[in-house]
Amino acid sequence: MKGQFPVDKFRDLRTPFYYYDTRILRQTLEVIRQETEKMENAVVHYAVKANANQEILRTIREYGLGADCVSGGEIKAALQAGFSPDKIVFAGVGKADWEINLALEHHIFCFNVESIPELEIINELAAVKGTVANVAFRVNPDVKAHTHANITTGLAENKFGIALGDIEQVIELAHRLDHVKFVGLHFHIGSQILDMGDFASLCNRVNELLTLFEKHHVEIENINVGGGLGVDYQHPNRQSIPDFHEYFRTFNSLIKRRNGQSLHFEPGRSVVAQCGSLISKVLYVKQGTNKQFAILDAGMTDLIRPALYQAYHKIENISSELPVETYDVVGPICESSDVFGKAVDLNKVSRGDLIALRSAGAYGEIMASQYNCRELPRSYTTEDLL
């Protein structure tokens, strides 16, 4: 055992694999439960796209959360894990007919609609089934989140949502269509947000809209503020649970909810990032011209975030206590971007050492690919290894 890892158990397993510390996941879910119980009428839908591993999904469902899905496949994964359809929301700019039909057949809680043509198709498909679909409109709030450019979604220039200026017209249209029922507004401004000021800006925008709709006598039942809470990638041990207290408090105190309006959240990363690590073995230590490389058996096919977003993951040698040396930590894939970290300080590395890439529970396993004809990584939870 080094730190929280059952290293001896790891030695018997084929690497690379994802290890999920279910104790951390459960502690995180407990905090979410406690914080949301303090609020009136709050519903949390876990964003399945962060990690759709069935064991993870089942644990999350046990704590009473709903699911936020962005594809038919995710709806199926959520149903398989036992999520109740009346707690499933379905977002995405490009919903295919079969995905809409699947959601209609299961009577999910709500479609988060992103355009007028999509609204018309949902109405049409619901008519064929003789049903009425609940719809919320995803508003593009034109609020900037201070995060990586590839993961901001709430600016007018992004492809997501309906422009502020068009929203009234869309609601009017919904009222004229017989097979959709307008139930609320949806927002999502981006991911890995740590500045509560960004969420406060979103709250101000929500309040402006609530006032506007009140003037026009349009009733809003639900307000869904999306996800986006960030995690501390630098200090996965010190801050294993994100600051949900501040997060929920910000929305609950700043949004001026009218009577009975429910407040919905869609956290993904913040629920699962810190419980996961990618565990890999060192294949070779190679001397370069001015540096040394630790070459792992895990690569960007197993964890693509560093290559895709220049994301930082803390890297640890969990099988050595030797003095620290400096390495470029790389994978075996034939791409120059297959680098997990440059000039990383690690306890001296030898062939066969086990390396942990921390905070990899979100957008890790789910984004794995088979490029280079590699196998997909397996996964184990704390309970699997008892």
Pairing mode, strands 222-224 and 324-330: unpaired
- Phi/psi of residue 16, nearest 5 degrees: -80, 155
* 72 neighbors 96 (Cβ within 8 angstroms): yes
Query: Which C-beta is closer to ligand PLP: that of 21 or that of 114?
Result: 114
Query: Which C-beta is closer to ligand PLP: that of 70 or that of 275?
Result: 70
What is the smallest separation between the CB atom of 144 and ligand PLP, expressed in angstroms?
Answer: 15
What is the smallest separation between the CB atom of 180 and ligand PLP, expressed in angstroms?
Answer: 19
Query: Which C-beta is closer to ligand PLP: that of 150 or that of 292?
Result: 150
What is the smallest separation between the CB atom of 74 and ligand PLP, expressed in angstroms?
Answer: 11
Query: Which C-beta is closer to ligand PLP: that of 152 or that of 381?
Result: 152
In 3D space, the residue among 37, 35, 41, 87 whose CA is nearest the CA of residue 61 turns out to be 87
In 3D space, the residue among 142, 144, 121 whose CA is nearest the CA of residue 133 turns out to be 121
What is the smallest separation between the CB atom of 265 and ligand PLP, expressed in angstroms?
Answer: 9
In the complex, which residues of this chain contact ligand PLP (CB under 6 A)? 47, 49-50, 68, 70, 91, 188, 191, 226-229, 266-270
3-state secondary structure 342-362: EEEEEECCCCCCEEEECCCCC
Query: Which C-beta is closer to ligand PLP: that of 174 or that of 229?
Result: 229
* 211 neighbors 176 (Cβ within 8 angstroms): no
Helices H, strands E: what count in the chain? Answer: 11, 17
What is the smallest separation between the CB atom of 225 and ligand PLP, expressed in angstroms?
Answer: 9
Query: Which C-beta is closer to ligand PLP: that of 242 or that of 377?
Result: 242
What is the smallest separation between the CB atom of 14 and ligand PLP, expressed in angstroms?
Answer: 29
- Burial label, 273 (beta-carbon count in 10 A; 0-12, 13-18, 19+): buried
